[in-house]
Structure 1
Amino acid sequence: MTDPTSPSADILAILEARHGNPFGFLGRHPQEDGRAIVRTFQPSAHAVTVLARDGSGAWPMQRVHHHGFYQVELPAEAAHKPYDLELATYDGQAIRTADPYSFGHLVGEHDLYYFREGTHQRLWESLGASLCTIDGVSGVRFSVWAPNAQRVSVIGDFNNWDGRLNPMRLRIEAGVWEIFMPGIKEETHYKFEVVTPEGYLTIKSDPFAFYSQHSEKTASMVFDLNRYTWSDQEWMEKRARQDLYHTPMSIYEVHLGSWKRIPEQGNRSKSYLELADDLIPYVKSMNFTHIELMPVAEHPFDGSWGYQVTGYFAPTSRFGNPDEFRQFVDRCHQAGIGVILDWVPGHFPKDAHGLAKFDGTALYEHADPRQGEHQDWGTLIFNYGRSEVKNFLVANALFWLEQYHIDGLRVDAVASMLYLDYSRKPWAWVPNKYGGRENLEAIDFMRDLNRICYEKHPGATIIAEESTAWPGVSKPTDTGGLGFGFKWNMGWMNDTLRYMEEDPIHRKYHHGEATFSMLYAYDENFILVLSHDEVVHGKGSLINKMPGDRWQKFANLRMFYGWMWAHPGKKLLFMGAEFGQWQEWSHERSLDWHLYMGEEHAALQKLLCDLNWLYTTRPALATADHESSGFQWLDANDGENSIFAFVRIAPDGDRVYCIVNATPVPRKNYRVGVSEAGTYRELLNTDAPGYAGSGMINPLPLTTSDEEWQGQPWSVVIDLPPLGTVFLGR
């Protein structure tokens, strides 16, 4: 039997890629007599020479194993000098390189401590692939968390994807493996080869990669994030002072891959830079204040729309490289448009190259499928109670806010994180330590996430997509809330869409559904949403949800948009809805831009443009969105006629009167109560001819009478159009 302490045992372990401490044997090792032994494994070389980096000497190495293991003893005067290896390869090349095993510890002790503690807020600078220079040698420092692996090697273009060649050093105190690879350039492809505790070999992409392949190709790529020069300083300084709660926020939700494709070039999607040229001017012309991007973090499957992420630190390479995505964000800011990013900390896919069973164990996920797997989606759930996993997610959020100047993160599927029994059978979940259904670790994670992000990036926002009645989602953490800035108003969306789908003759029986949202409108900081979720999976497009003939469908939708923009709460509309796309949305094709040829579609688009303009220019419609003082019913009870009348009020006294007629019956001489005497004018009418309406407008100045009405001391009389929303103001 071979002596396990002999060099031959070490050589055999290196050759078989099972050495537990490659840095303890490879590289330079001082001897007691002052000399040093250098060992290297170079199977592609027929000769190797050690060269003093200062040119003071060269020492040919002895081939001590026929598979390419070399060794040499350096004299005392050269034992501590920096050195390189010169490789004479079988194809006739002479390659000079520093020895990866000649470098000391790479990840700092403090970095490892804070990561283990779960508080490292710039974790992407310590883990992953970082271009750097060490001792005058340029290359890449690779580091990865895999505490239960028997062995981890970095593999890639530079070593023919051979896991035997570059096994990494284990920093046992944190379970982090590291190695510095000299000479590695940007966009080099790489992965990690991991040997599991059971001895199985698996190949993983880098969880911290800044740039990755997508779809069937899944290699990570080295990328320099320190090169890009931003030009949005004015925006960022303004953002830090901005009060989002009291300013307009009208959001255009976009799936980058299908917003506008190029059919004459194989129906390909536009790149980040092409979208910057086309999408940004469009959003600006439509007077939206923000773009919300469905997830751009790297994902292998187009059909997930980005919601099954494998590369949490990499914007997808489908549309360009990371700096090109930065340029897209930069140009949005220069145009005065904020960028919100969908962010997915609720689950991750089981793809073999991703986070699942990363080191052969349930590292990022729970081991128990009752806690660690979403049966509905076939995905895995993060172990929020593990400090390193929580650190990974919080640092990732900070990464997008800092490195990409993202203005907000919309956190997907918050309800699935809050409840341990989310979409589970009674026997298929594990209660918390108190016997309840609340996921206490996820709650702590979200509170920490929000607190840290708001401390580090004032002016940015974190938005919850939360579909239940969990209390205090957008309330401060120090008062027991979750600490989000805003919450999607799913209740408003469900109630109003259900109301709008009713035939107008039946709406009087559902009047309470349409007014119910005002009973809880100030419980949270709400965003009213008509998102992609409402136009997929057989739900049909928004225009097709509307009842009636073609004219009535468009009239209903115009009235509905006017009502939505008048209602308290920020606004979000999914792409294509602004011009009334007939088809249900599909990620595989472009929006139906040809519909602009139709008068009603162009008119609907103009209405959205004008609604956004009115919303952003009249303080009454936005500055008190989250305060009860900003809204007053004039008439909430006219169910018989399906009419809703209310006034929006700004702290500075600006008032906008909003009247909705949800039936196709015109209401001549409709009296509206107002608070001040004088003349009023129609600010916007969704039935105007310019919006392809019937033309029942109120063009002349409207003079008040002293007849008290709707609880107001004065009143004006208007013609209320069929299926229309009217805005009045001074």
Structure 2
Amino acid sequence: MVAKKTTGAKEKVQKVQHIGLVKNDSYLEPYEEAIRGRHDHVLWKIAQLTQNGKMKLSDFANGYTYYGLHKTANGWVFREWAPHATKLYLVGDFNNWQETDQYEAKCIDELGNWELILPEESMHNGDFYKMHVYWDGGFGERIPAWANRVVQDAQSKIFSAQVWCVKPYEWKKKAFRPKKDPLLIYECHIGMSQDAEKVGSYTEFKENVLPRVIKDGYNCIQIMAIQEHPYYGSFGYHVSSFFAASSRFGTPEELKDLIDTAHQHGIAVIMDIVHSHAVKNEVEGLGNLAGDPNQYFYPGDRHEHPAWDSLCFDYGKDDVIHFLLSNCKYWLEEFHFDGFRFDGVTSMIYYSHGLGEDFNNYGDYFNGHQDDNAICYLTLANVLIHEINPYAITIAEEVSGMPGLAAKFSDGGYGFDYRMAMNIPDFWIKTIKEQKDENWKPSTIFYELKNRRSDERTISYCESHDQALVGDKTIIFRLVDADMYWHFKKGDENVVSSRGIALHKMIRLITLAELNGGYLNFMGNEFGHPEWIDFPREGNGWSHKYARRQWNLVDNHDLCYHYLGDFDHDMLQVIKSEKKFKDTKIQEIWHNDGDQVLAFTRGELLFVFNFSPTQSFTDYGLLVPQGSYSIILDTDAKVYGGNGLNDDTMLHQTIYDGVYVEQHKEWLKLYLPARTALVLKKN
């Protein structure tokens, strides 16, 4: 595209300087004005929030150091933003839960900030407390919005804030830089991480699960359900107290110790952060903190999420932006998290929350259905996070395919480091459900797994926690179903279980092999965990039977689960053996949908897949760079529950063909058993 400028009789042709996002994708040219508009909106907002650069954005995000309850040199100070309140008291163990003059806060400005200053003896560590808030025509017992410790009473099940003032945690690993080549994420949930039928703890995870993650070869754990939530079965996605680490798993110091221990072993720790919505509860949450249901949330039709039974933040309010940005900084600074996976990004950026909308062309991303306030907030969050920690990791869970989500802010993007490749698990589910094995097309698989924007990094995955929940099925359950209960003992395998074991390995290998940023596995899926996830609820008698991980299965070498677990470990080692794997080019060598064979290279690694359920091939020829090749991973090896039909110790030498001598290529002849995959390394 060029712009012409007339000067007298002469015409000068001036080349348009496209913003980076458009430079990288010319199909976005018709929408460049909208892209620039979003970018300029963020720049304007940054200037506003930082007083035109007089301070940093991270200085603006210090709300957690001001609001809430804090110990001072002279006692205690408590502050809360409650613009519609007319009276505000602290009540708790320290005053027998009665309103008294000593514990009445004062409104200190026209913004609705309330403050209470108390002498040291007025409260003690461990005391439980709440706010009594009055407004015109109403009253409510509330948990402070900025509370950093919230505990549920075991008998009454009532939540209260808790005075928490203990010796500061002493970090052993003070500086940490995540490994990202590639980023290998172990998605996990603290509470359901133990074999026992109970709620697991931070310490138990550190002692029992973290060593498994380290041994398996993952370099990052992504923890769900950290922010306090009143209903355990919400999986942590209906947050009530955004600054409180869930006490049902232990103390803040125990969470810090888990993170510190992970860092000492080279493991990054990111958390699922929920800024897309909040629980509707008024007593525990922000639903009606001080007489205004819209204090934190959009008014009118946009107030409630139509599908999630929750409340939607008003990203157009500076006070809400201050709350959420401060929340990001709090978890980074206070707990040393290495970043975040932002939940529900699609819901944030569309007025419709993405419900009932089709995203078929670029016009669907710039048609006025987008919430520019939310887009601005998400971009601000990324700017802030990387200002605080340039090595931080941010991941967007977004299903619409919004262009620029994981592009640099300077290029007109949102600034996320990665986006979840949510098309991949959908593709695998659809393939397994709808296609007979003999109809699987390697060309389609190859395309779908690498179908992404060239300028945006993604997190590839076969399945996350979503597929493991009641109402859905994990890949292993779709492949094997009830036969897992009867035919996963060594020697008792049948056709169904053998097929499932073979395809489980192949699906994970090809998904991992085609990544361009990172890879994610949900806790237990690496060894084919047999049970769905169902949290304690009235419908199951409040049972923890399905809200746990049965590590005893993978540890029992009389069962087949360890085959999958051992393969997962070795698969990761193979990928990590190739330096800068995520940056290596995926070069297709061959595909034949009739044979169901696919081969491609990445660096010195050659990946060969035979998806045929029945057809094995002898001396299958592939044209590759000349040299010798060694098999370094074989899904059919007996150690992974296969038949061991290949001699994996054999050195494979290419065979001369004069036609391709100038290309330095020769024929590599391989035996490809049915339903197996090989990884070879060029010597």
1:156 aligns with 92
1:527 aligns with 459
1:593 aligns with 551
Q: Determine whether 1:645 maps to 2:599.
A: yes
2:182 aligns with 248
Higher relative contact order (CA 8 A, sep 6+): 2
> What amino acid is aligned across from residue 180 of structure 1 in structure 2?
I
* Residue pair 1:646, 1:657 contacting (<8 A) in 2 also: yes
2:673 aligns with 721
> What amino acid is aligned across from residue 253 of structure 2 in structure 1?
D
CA distance in 2, matches of 1:536, 1:489: 19
CA-to-aligned-CA distance 1:48-89 (integer Å, 9 cap, x gap)? xxxxxxxxxxxxxxxxxxxxxxxxxxxxxxxxxxxxxxxxxx
CA-to-aligned-CA distance 1:574-606 (integer Å, 9 cap, x gap)? 111111122222343322333233432111100
Q: Classify 1:424/1:615 alpha carbon distance in 2 versus 1 (closer, same or farther; 3 Å).
A: closer
Q: How does 1:394-543 map to 2 (within 5 A)?
A: 394-422=325-353, 436-508=368-440, 511-512=443-444, 514-520=446-452, 522-529=454-461, 530-543=463-476
Q: How does 1:351-362 map to 2 (within 5 A)?
A: 351-353=281-283, 354-362=285-293
CA distance in 1, matches of 2:573, 2:561: 19
2:191 aligns with 257
1:121 aligns with 61
> What amino acid is aligned across from residue 537 of structure 1 in structure 2?
V
CA distance in 2, matches of 1:603, 1:128: 50
Moved more, 708-717 or 275-284: 708-717
> What amino acid is aligned across from residue 381 of structure 2 in structure 1?
L
CA distance in 1, matches of 2:565, 2:191: 21
* Residue pair 1:531, 1:573 contacting (<8 A) in 2 also: yes
Q: Classify 1:268/1:536 alpha carbon distance in 2 versus 1 (closer, same or farther; 3 Å).
A: closer
CA distance in 1, matches of 2:136, 2:610: 68
Match of 1:143 among 74, 79, 86: 79
1:170 aligns with 107
2:33 aligns with none
Q: Determine whether 1:630 maps to 2:585.
A: yes
Match of 1:192 among 106, 123, 131: 131
1:679 aligns with 628
Runs of 4+ residues deviating >6 angstroms: 708-712
CA-to-aligned-CA distance 1:447-471 (integer Å, 9 cap, x gap)? 1110111011111111100011100
Unaligned 5+ segments in structure 2 are 1-49, 358-365, 481-494, 536-543
CA distance in 2, matches of 1:118, 1:363: 26
Moved more, 467-476 or 714-723: 714-723
> What amino acid is aligned across from residue 270 of structure 1 in structure 2?
G
2:28 aligns with none
1:703 aligns with 653
- TM-score, reference length from structure 1: 0.76
1:98 aligns with none
CA distance in 2, matches of 1:339, 1:118: 21
2:612 aligns with 663
> What amino acid is aligned across from residue 140 of structure 1 in structure 2?
W
CA distance in 2, matches of 1:349, 1:668: 60
Deviation, 1:326, is 0.4
* Residue pair 2:198, 2:548 contacting (<8 A) in 1 also: no
2:212 aligns with 282
**Per the alignment, in what secondary structure is the counterpart of residue 728 of structure 1?**
strand
2:246 aligns with 316
1:692 aligns with 641
CA-to-aligned-CA distance 1:622-663 (integer Å, 9 cap, x gap)? 3x0xxxx62111124x111222211112xxxxx211111112
CA distance in 2, matches of 1:521, 1:389: 32
Q: Classify 1:338/1:364 alpha carbon distance in 2 versus 1 (closer, same or farther; 3 Å).
A: farther
* Residue pair 2:294, 2:303 contacting (<8 A) in 1 also: no
Deviation, 1:277, is 1.0
Deviation, 1:669, is 1.3
CA distance in 2, matches of 1:407, 1:484: 14
How many positions carry a matched residue from both structures?
583
Deviation, 1:193, is 0.9
CA distance in 1, matches of 2:431, 2:631: 26
1:217 aligns with 158
**Per the alignment, in what secondary structure is the counterpart of residue 145 of structure 2?**
coil
* Residue pair 1:486, 1:526 contacting (<8 A) in 2 also: yes
Q: Classify 1:435/1:518 alpha carbon distance in 2 versus 1 (closer, same or farther; 3 Å).
A: closer
CA distance in 1, matches of 2:620, 2:136: 77
CA distance in 2, matches of 1:169, 1:541: 54
2:143 aligns with 205
CA distance in 2, matches of 1:254, 1:709: 49
* Residue pair 1:499, 1:507 contacting (<8 A) in 2 also: no
CA-to-aligned-CA distance 1:191-234 (integer Å, 9 cap, x gap)? 11111232x1101112111111137221111223761110012x
Q: Classify 1:437/1:451 alpha carbon distance in 2 versus 1 (closer, same or farther; 3 Å).
A: same
CA distance in 2, matches of 1:489, 1:424: 19
Give the alignment's Cα RMSD to 1 decimal. 2.5
1:347 aligns with 277
CA distance in 2, matches of 1:714, 1:620: 26
CA distance in 2, matches of 1:332, 1:407: 11
* Residue pair 1:214, 1:298 contacting (<8 A) in 2 also: no
CA distance in 1, matches of 2:442, 2:650: 34
Q: Classify 1:298/1:709 alpha carbon distance in 2 versus 1 (closer, same or farther; 3 Å).
A: farther
- TM-score, reference length from structure 2: 0.81
Unaligned 5+ segments in structure 1 are 1-109, 427-433, 650-654
Q: Classify 1:446/1:175 alpha carbon distance in 2 versus 1 (closer, same or farther; 3 Å).
A: same
CA-to-aligned-CA distance 1:545-570 (integer Å, 9 cap, x gap)? 22761100111101111112211231
CA distance in 2, matches of 1:173, 1:568: 53
**Per the alignment, in what secondary structure is the counterpart of residue 726 of structure 1?**
strand
1:388 aligns with 319
CA distance in 2, matches of 1:709, 1:584: 52
**Per the alignment, in what secondary structure is the counterpart of residue 73 of structure 2?**
strand
* Residue pair 2:58, 2:384 contacting (<8 A) in 1 also: no
1:55 aligns with none
* Residue pair 1:673, 1:712 contacting (<8 A) in 2 also: no
**Per the alignment, in what secondary structure is the counterpart of residue 171 of structure 2?**
coil
CA-to-aligned-CA distance 1:358-397 (integer Å, 9 cap, x gap)? 1110344435342121011100000101001111111101
CA distance in 1, matches of 2:660, 2:193: 47
Q: Classify 1:291/1:702 alpha carbon distance in 2 versus 1 (closer, same or farther; 3 Å).
A: same
* Residue pair 2:396, 2:418 contacting (<8 A) in 1 also: yes
Q: Classify 1:322/1:687 alpha carbon distance in 2 versus 1 (closer, same or farther; 3 Å).
A: same
**Per the alignment, in what secondary structure is the counterpart of residue 598 of structure 2?**
strand
Deviation, 1:533, is 0.6
Moved more, 374-383 or 701-710: 701-710
2:38 aligns with none
Q: Classify 1:377/1:162 alpha carbon distance in 2 versus 1 (closer, same or farther; 3 Å).
A: same
CA-to-aligned-CA distance 1:145-199 (integer Å, 9 cap, x gap)? 101111111111111222343221102233110111222222221111111232x
